[in-house]
Structure 1
Amino acid sequence: MYFAALLARTEDGWEASDTELDNVETLTDLADLAREAAVDDDTVVALLEQEDAWFGVVRVDGDDDPRIFVSNAAAAARSSYGSLLTDELLGRDETVEDDLDSLDLDGTEDGEPERDDEAEANTDNGSPTPAGPLGDAGLLDDLGVGEKELLALDGDALSEIADALGCTDVLEAVR
């Protein structure tokens, strides 16, 4: 199960909104959604998680490019919303679409050997997706979550991030 929320910084603190990702197909879509939630082009932090498998943070500051961090890239790459983040970080082309007609019932393409579930996910260019963190671990430094703290998070990481940002109550209100 996924959870996604947008935290928009305001003069009075943070505002949180539960975010539906049904219409989000690319990182650009997610960044546009974050910009719509922004107050006066201030910082918006998108928090995503899939149960205890991985969490992701996307920071959008006005028209700047989004900054991304994923706690476990290999796990995220295997999920639909997590792959939005890992594809961007690994330089995958987000316009490439799967050809569902060439899939066998086991989910592999015709003629493609089955992947071992323990094997790491691969990018389109054959390089492995890291099993650990990927992206900009310093994206929340100026907001109170240092690189070391972000890299050490596990369990209920989003609550710990919200606590450090001083917006636990607003995040919990949309959970």
Structure 2
Amino acid sequence: MTSGRVTVYFAALLARTEDGWEASDTELDNVETLADLADLAREAVGEDETAVVLIEQEDAWFGVVRVDGEDDPRVFISNAAVAARSSYGTMLTDELLGHEESDTDDLDTLNLDGTEDGEPDRGEDEAEDSAATRAPQGPLGDAKLLEDFGIDETVLLALEGDALSDIADMIGCSDLLEAVR
């Protein structure tokens, strides 16, 4: 039995090129790991360019993934415990916490429109609670990942509400973000 609970995600891939920022029309349907997300970002930009993936779940949490060429992706999550209760958030928190594979990761429940349907059964609720307790309450990851774009650690840590719009505004691509929203 499923309920009417629907979790809505928003994700945007922004590429920093020599001509400025560009938004990429990118599907996250086949993304199951941080490595998948990094590969997707690399495909959208040139070899030496930077991609920034912004992900949010209904203002509950936001994440920033930065991919610079072949370097390992850098990740920041605004609230790891809350993010660990969602599919994309679990993918990011598990990577940051060094978990090989989460027992709560169920990307198969994601619809093509970026929503997550259904009420988890009691066993899944307990697994989600366990995953959330592994993740710290509050920020997790590299809060300095956007410093060279003018967003220092203190600013990133203080963002709330529509943080993705604030980030896009500070790095000079708010029009692009709104166009893909």
- Structure 1: where are the runs of 5+ without partners? 100-104, 123-127
Larger Rg: 1
User: Are residue 160 (structure 1) and residue 166 (structure 2) matched?
Assistant: yes
User: Are residue 151 (structure 1) and residue 157 (structure 2) matched?
Assistant: yes
- Report what 2:18 is aligned to: 11
Indicate conservation of the 8 Å contact 1:58/1:66, yes or no. Answer: yes
Deviation at 1:18, TM superposition (A): 3.9
- Report what 1:74 is aligned to: 81
Moved over 6 A (4+): 95-99, 116-120
User: Are residue 171 (structure 1) and residue 177 (structure 2) matched?
Assistant: yes
- Report what 1:137 is aligned to: 143
- Report what 1:21 is aligned to: 28
- Residue 38 of structure 2 is aligned with which of 31, 50, 68? 31
Partner SS, residue 121 of structure 1:
helix
Q: Structure 1 residues 24, 119: CA separation in 2 closer, same or farther (over 3 Å shift)?
A: closer
- Report what 1:121 is aligned to: 132
Structure 1 stretch displaced more, 33-42 or 68-77: 33-42
Residues 56-95 of structure 1 deviation map (CA, whole Å, 9 limit, x = unaligned):
0000000000000000001111100111100000000038
Indicate conservation of the 8 Å contact 2:90/2:104, yes or no. Answer: no
Q: Distance in 2 between matches of 1:116 and 1:6?
A: 30
Q: Distance in 2 between matches of 1:77 and 1:96?
A: 11
Query: Which structure has the highest helix share of the two?
Result: 2
User: Are residue 55 (structure 1) and residue 62 (structure 2) matched?
Assistant: yes
Residues 97-117 of structure 1 deviation map (CA, whole Å, 9 limit, x = unaligned):
879xxxxx83317xxxx7499
Residues 125-173 of structure 1 deviation map (CA, whole Å, 9 limit, x = unaligned):
xxx3111000000000001111000000000100110011100111111
Q: Distance in 1 between matches of 2:104 and 2:159?
A: 33
Deviation at 1:41, TM superposition (A): 2.2
Q: Distance in 2 between matches of 1:33 and 1:116?
A: 29
1:82-93 paired onto structure 2 within 5 Å: 82-93=89-100
Q: Distance in 2 between matches of 1:98 and 1:159?
A: 27
- Residue 121 of structure 2 is aligned with which of 80, 101, 106? 106
Please give the TM-score of this superposition, normalised by the length of structure 1.
Answer: 0.84
Indicate conservation of the 8 Å contact 1:26/1:94, yes or no. Answer: no
Q: Distance in 1 between matches of 2:45 and 2:165?
A: 21
Structure number with the bigger relative contact order (C-alpha 8 A, sep ≥ 6) is: 2
Deviation at 1:17, TM superposition (A): 2.1
Q: Structure 1 residues 169, 119: CA separation in 2 closer, same or farther (over 3 Å shift)?
A: same
Deviation at 1:121, TM superposition (A): 1.4
Q: Distance in 1 between matches of 2:145 and 2:121?
A: 39
